[in-house]
Amino acid sequence: MSRRKVWGIEREVLEMINQASRQTHPLEFVAAMRAEDGVIYELVLLPGSISSGGSATFPSFNLPIDLSIVGSVHSHPGPYNEPSEADLHLFSSYGSTHIITCMPYDMSSWRCYDRQGRPVELQVV
């Protein structure tokens, strides 16, 4: 069995995602993610990001040219972490790994998706 290029996320990063999501609620939180050796270890906050109660976007032209950036993370202010049509468009535009967290923004309310919007497992390390 081969391992995905991104196979894990540091617990502290996941906790930070949920904390930021709670703090911005009812608006969505959005960031990019950086990985090394297959593990997401850092969030990248981008200037020009826009959050509302129904969406969150960041201008992809503000992404640094950095191959360690592997995808995006954002929150949904409701109880569902399923990707919307807009999310699927973003997922297919760049990156291989995307996370959506939802209320109550805890260690069981997030899900990871690939660029086609298919759920994938990420190990919390």
In the chain, which stretches have pLDDT less than 70? 1-3, 47-64
What is the CATH class of 8-124? Answer: alpha beta
CA trace torsion 88, 94, 100, 106 (10° rounding):
170
- What are the E-state strand segments in the chain? 8-9, 30-36, 39-44, 50-51, 56-57, 69-76, 97-102, 110-113, 119-120, 123-124
36 carries an active-site annotation? no
Q: Residues 10, 12, 15, 28: which is the catalytic one?
A: 28
**pLDDT value of position 106:** 97
Alpha helices in 34-124 (DSSP H): 85-93
Domain ranges, ordered by start, for the chain? 8-124
**pLDDT value of position 1:** 40
